[in-house]
Amino acid sequence: MLKLLRIELFKIFKRPRTYIAFGAIAAIVILIQVALKYDGKSYVDLLLNNLSDSFELSDEYKNKLLNGYLICFVILNTLLIQMPLLVALIAGDSIAGEANMGTLRLSMSRPVSRTQYMTVKFLASVIYTLALLVWMAMLALFGSMLIFGTNDMVVFRSDGIEQMRHFDVLWRYFAAFGYAAVALTTVAALAFLLSVFAENSIGPIIATMSIVIVFTILSEMNIPLYDNTIKPYLFTSHMVAWKGFFYVKADAMGTTINGSIENLPAILKSLSILFIYIIIFFGTALCVFRKKDILT
Amino acid sequence: MFLEKKIFLLKQSIRMKKIMVLLLILVSIKGINAQTAEELINRVRMKLDKVNDYEAKGKMRTNVIFIKAPVANVKVYFKKPNKLRINNENGISFIPKGSVNINLNNIFFNSAAFTIIDGGKETGSGNRILKLLPEDEAAGVVLSTLYIDEKNAVIRKAKITTKESGTYELEMTYGRYISYGLADKFIFSFNTKEYKLPKGITFDYDDGTKKENSSDQLKNKKGRVELIYSEYKINKGVPDAVFG
């Protein structure tokens, strides 16, 4: 099983297109960092527009606000749409790519059960996803900390502002990246499932992206009809729960409680839902593949 | 007989002294009460004038309905005539506009000439209420209502109405530095405007938490900043560079 996994990982990381994703992430992160380094004030002005009448918002204050922690949060927000595409590139290709190249039947002729084969294929996709995430964390978090420095972190929500002390932030990022790994694994599982039905990888990749985009739009729309009917069941509604680690509890005086999370049970619930999705997607892919007539 | 007479005279002398002391107290109290509003303002100003500059360490707590913020360790710098800076040296703090008024000199600085209206005494505290109306029509401050502790010649409470930024309220608690007219604790209340950002920018995670703050509550709500000083360094010199 381990040997099979090594072979799969070798195949993934041998292909040049695998590194497109790493390059794309580096490009996006660096472009955002450069933009915010030289014109971050405009972005901060947009966020602080509502507060300028009530608070002193000097340039020094804005510079302090625009620290590495906030920049990383902005990058993670921006990559919300792009990351699933990059994950789907590999996961959507894992079975359909083999079928397209005509190597699937050959692989099945070896003394490896279909369950083992599928498990290894999926694990390889998950490892690729994790590698992508670690790469992004290094660039977005540690890179931003290096370029912009650190300070207290301020998170802007649509109806309020959350502020955390600088020493209370890093563990939240580790938790958020851990959560994001599960969220992206859900996308990988979906692409993997769709990959089973296709004979070339374009179909599953585009289908995965279409589903993610449509679901994300539905998740972000504020329409009462969908709020309690569709939204709670869409995996995209729960993919953004990493942000919950940056929503803090406050006492009666509005003072942040260090080390607190506003609604941990909600995050755990979202996490469970994502795990259920992963099990459903992978389980379905496994069932379908075990019964599938492999003709190519 | 002689002894009895002596005791009687001694008792009478003591009684007289008591009456004299009582009369003196009454006269002095009457004197304080009788001081005019101008005199009282001058006493307050003279006390504040003793401070040329200060550097104070303290803790600042911000209480605004839409902000969750930690308690901040701040340094406050003041230099005559009206330079004031609140610095959070190892963090970020939301400093409300008008916080410059925690420098009480500012009340008089902004209105060099003003008409004083004596509002009598506040029930309960006994503080003297004086209303200051600037004579300069272009002044940013429209009205300052001061609640003055006559005995200590310090401002205990102030309401400052401005043309553009609404009304600020200040409440001061004095301790070790009362002789300089510097408070150990300030409560600064101010008006806040509605806060709202489009969800398209924030991409909020809806964790199902029911918000206690309705949109009406978020509109025109009072914010409060509490500043508790632990230490003042008075008249030791503050470089201009501190004020940027």
CB contact under 8 A, B96 and A157: no
Interface confidence, given as ipTM, is 0.80
Closest CB from B96, B199, B218 relative to A222: B199
Specify the pLDDT at position B10: 67
Q: How many CB atoms lie within 10 A of CB B66?
A: 20
A277, A186 contact by CB (below 8 A): yes
Interface of B with A (CB under 8 A): 61-71, 90-92, 94-97, 99, 165, 190-209, 211, 213, 218, 223, 244
Q: Looking at the complex, does the CB of residue A80 fall below 8 Å from at least one CB of chain B?
A: yes
Q: Looking at the complex, does the CB of residue A251 fall below 8 Å from at least one CB of chain B?
A: no
Specify the pLDDT at position B27: 42
- Segment A24-59, tens digit of pLDDT: 999 999 999 999 999 888 888 888 888 887 888 888
Q: For testing the chain B interface, which of A219, A255, A257, A272 should be mutated: the one with the most B CBs within 10 Å?
A: A255
Specify the pLDDT at position B219: 56
Pairing between β-strand B222-234 and β-strand B53-63 as defined by DSSP bridges: antiparallel
Q: ∠ CA(A282), CA(A175), CA(A213), 5° rounding?
A: 50
Q: Looking at the complex, does the CB of residue A60 fall below 8 Å from at least one CB of chain B?
A: yes
Give which of A209, A213, A264, A218 is closest to A237, Cα–Cα.
A218
- Alpha-carbon span A58 to B96, nearest angstrom: 12
Closest CB from B70, B207, B218 relative to A244: B207
Helix (H, G, I), strand (E, B) or coil at B84: strand
Q: Which residues of A touch B71 (CB under 8 A)?
A: 255
Q: How many CB atoms lie within 10 A of CB B142?
A: 15
pTM metric for this prediction: 0.83
Long-range interactions of A167-175: CB distance < 8 A, separation 24+: A167/A258, A168/A258, A168/A259, A169/A69, A172/A245, A172/A246, A173/A69, A173/A72, A173/A137, A173/A141, A173/A245, A175/A242, A175/A245
Give which of A164, A160, A161, A170 is closest to A256, Cα–Cα.
A164
Specify the pLDDT at position A122: 92
B191 CA to centre of own chain: 17
Shortest CA gap B198–chain A (Å): 6
Residue with tokens 């259920």: A276
* Segment 116-145 of chain A within 8 Å of chain B by CB: none
Q: Looking at the complex, does the CB of residue A47 fall below 8 Å from at least one CB of chain B?
A: yes
Specify the pLDDT at position A48: 86
Q: Which residues of B touch A73 (CB under 8 A)?
A: none
Q: Looking at the complex, does the CB of residue A82 fall below 8 Å from at least one CB of chain B?
A: no
Shortest CA gap B18–chain A (Å): 52
Q: Which residues of A touch B195 (CB under 8 A)?
A: 50-51, 159-161
Domains and CATH numbers, chain B: 36-243 (2.50.20)
Q: Which residues of B touch A222 (CB under 8 A)?
A: 199
Per-residue pLDDT of chain B (244 residues; tens, 9 = 90+): 556 766 666 676 667 666 555 544 544 444 445 568 888 888 888 888 888 899 999 999 998 989 999 999 999 999 888 788 888 878 888 888 877 777 777 777 655 677 888 888 888 888 899 998 888 777 778 888 999 988 888 999 999 888 877 888 999 999 988 988 889 999 999 888 888 888 777 778 877 666 655 555 555 578 899 999 998 998 888 888 888 7
Size of interface A-B (CB pairs under 8 A): 135
User: % helix / strand / coil in chain B, to the nearest 5?
Assistant: 30, 40, 35
Specify the pLDDT at position B218: 54
Shortest CA gap A40–chain B (Å): 15
CB contact under 8 A, A160 and B68: yes
- The DSSP 8-state label assigned to residue A159 in this structure reads T
Closest CB from A154, A159, A222 relative to B211: A159
The phi, psi pair for B146, rounded to 5°, reads: -110, 135
CB contact under 8 A, B92 and A151: yes
Closest CB from A58, A256, A263 relative to B70: A256
Residue ranges of chain A whose pLDDT lies below 70: 80-81, 295-296
